[in-house]
């Protein structure tokens, strides 16, 4: 039996899951919430996660570009500058994925899932997505909106 990425991390701090739930409740997926408010809420989320894990807070940039979204899959993490750039829309999975790269870059991850930085970030972000918002996770899977389950 194959393990789903969303079931691969069983030891995630409860604080992290609670912070993800709080972020979703701020309306990051809602079209009627102003982008500036979403950016501020994501910054607060990243600060909270950085505090939980005791690492430097990454900077956040947001660009509405659909072209960059298509080219990047929605985000880029720059390890040299410790900057997370999000494009076009706010995805909890992309935010978590980029933060996991930041954790790796800060030396916080000793053993990577399947010895692969990308798969480690996929497993961590999908595990939190499923634990924090199980109905949204199931809907995203059922509607083919996630590349990795």
Per-domain boundaries in the chain: 12-142
Q: How far is CA 29 from the centre of its chain?
A: 13
Alpha helices in the chain (DSSP H): 14-25, 35-53, 66-72, 92-105, 117-132, 134-142
For the whole model, what pTM was predicted? 0.93
Mean pLDDT of 98-119: 92
pLDDT above 80 (res 87): yes
- The tens digit of pLDDT for each residue in 34-47 reads 999 999 999 999 99
pLDDT computed for residue 1 by the predictor: 41
Residue 111 binned pLDDT confidence (cut-offs 50, 70, 90): confident
How far apart are alpha carbons 106 and 27 in whole angstroms?
A: 29
pLDDT score, position 3 = 61
């Amino acid at each position: 039996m194959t393990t789903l990425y969303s079931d691969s991390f069983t030891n995630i701090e409860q604080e992290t899951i609670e912070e993800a739930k709080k972020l979703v409740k701020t309306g990051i997926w809602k079209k009627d919430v102003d982008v500036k408010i979403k950016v501020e809420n994501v910054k607060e989320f990243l600060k909270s996660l950085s505090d939980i894990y005791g690492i430097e807070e990454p900077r956040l940039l947001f660009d509405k570009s659909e072209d960059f979204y298509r080219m990047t899959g929605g985000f880029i993490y720059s390890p040299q500058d410790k900057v997370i750039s999000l494009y076009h829309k706010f995805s909890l999975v992309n935010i978590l994925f980029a933060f996991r790269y930041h954790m790796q870059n800060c030396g916080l991850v000793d053993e990577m899932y399947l010895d692969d930085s990308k798969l480690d970030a996929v497993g961590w972000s999908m595990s939190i997505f499923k634990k924090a918002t199980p109905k949204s996770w199931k809907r995203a899977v059922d509607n083919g909106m996630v590349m990795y389950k």
